[in-house]
A and B are shown apart, each in its own frame.
Chain A
């Protein structure tokens, strides 16, 4: 099963070039922020495309580098930023894509067991309730790369 989801994720990544994958959930352009010694939180981003004909809910995620992963959202209330967990997860309607991006939905990687270095890749497994999990390879980006590619 694990192998299958990894293969599915790799197939999905290969399909990122433009052809919409169909019949499965795919995670595109996953990335996480670089950290340094003593910094034990990071954030993960990417696009989750629901290519199935049914609504799904992303209910959680895991990565071997973090003690736990939470799904968070950030709201901007007249300049006051509030970050909150979404314990129920995020609904992704059939055929739609939800974007995790800075200042919005993100994966909160907590209790990192080692620093994340720019340029390395980490596996992140997304869970969808009772559905098949999807593992994606996240690129760790340094601040400059994050500002270029992942900013607003």
Chain B
């Protein structure tokens, strides 16, 4: 088995685990005996309604994303490594879509309501030079949204007094009706990612 397939399969198992542990904050590792089709478990597990707040402080619900496919990613603005790497990669991929670029929304959901006010997310997203829908919310709203996308996050205090957030950094590609299509793998090269996005926006 090749690396990515194994990874996908393992993720599929984790998603099933998340479903089973739905409502819990922990990340139980559950390994069913029967093999699980990872795509099928994602399709069942990922997506759904949410209510959050946009960078202007206005309510933003999943219905406002209907009609266009979108790429959704969870992170936080005090994340100087993984989050900017992913967001700038998304910006670059969107630019490569050429005339189809406007057909794709990019959505960034904060998992750190403590620091990430709407204004803070707005400032952070200007760094990526492409329109990104930035969303935050109350801790309960964010928890519900993360649960809908089977996203794990956890605040981790650091010795120096600060903190960091562990979080799922998967980019979920969602269709026009908000249905799960596929994920982008952070380790894959631009070609396969671009192919997935092309299929998404033309599909």
Contact = CB atoms under 8 A, between A and B. Distances in A.
Interface of A: 33-43, 68, 70, 72, 74, 76, 78-85, 87, 102-103, 106, 108-110, 142-144, 146-148, 151-152
B191 interface: no
Contacts of A110: 162
B81 A74 contact: yes
A35 B124 CA distance: 8
A34 B127 contact: yes
A103 B160 contact: no
Given A78-B7, A85-B160, A152-B186, A102 B87 contact: no
Given A78-B11, A78-B14, A144-B92, A85 B159 contact: yes
A81 B111 CA distance: 13
B81 A147 contact: no
Contacts, number: 107
Interface of B: 7, 10-11, 14, 27, 77-82, 84-85, 87-89, 91-92, 119-120, 123-124, 126-129, 152, 156, 158-160, 162, 164, 166-170, 186-187, 189
A81 B76 CA distance: 12
Nearest to A34: B127
A81 B166 contact: yes
B159 A102 contact: no
Given A74-B82, A143-B88, A35 B167 contact: no
17 contacts: A36-B127, A38-B123, A74-B82, A76-B186, A78-B7, A79-B11, A79-B14, A81-B166, A87-B159, A142-B127, A143-B127, A143-B129, A146-B84, A147-B92, A151-B85, A151-B88, A152-B187
Contacts of A37: 123
Interface core residue of A41, A81, A146, A151 (most chain B CB under 10 Å)? A81
Contacts of B80: 33, 41-43, 106, 108-109
Given A78-B11, A146-B84, A83 B129 contact: no
A147 B123 CA distance: 19
Contacts of B156: 82
Given A110-B162, A151-B89, A36 B124 contact: yes
A7 B198 CA distance: 50
A143 B77 contact: no
Given A143-B129, A147-B88, A36 B79 contact: no
Nearest to A146: B88
Contact of B166 (A39, A82, A142): A82
A80 B88 contact: no
A79 B168 contact: yes
B81 A70 contact: no
A68 B11 CA distance: 36
B159 A143 contact: no
A110 to B, nearest CB: 7
A37 B168 CA distance: 27
Contacts of B77: 39
Given A76-B186, A144-B88, 20 more contacts: A36-B123, A36-B127, A38-B120, A39-B77, A39-B127, A42-B80, A81-B82, A81-B166, A81-B167, A82-B156, A82-B166, A83-B164, A85-B160, A103-B85, A108-B81, A110-B162, A142-B127, A143-B127, A146-B88, A148-B92
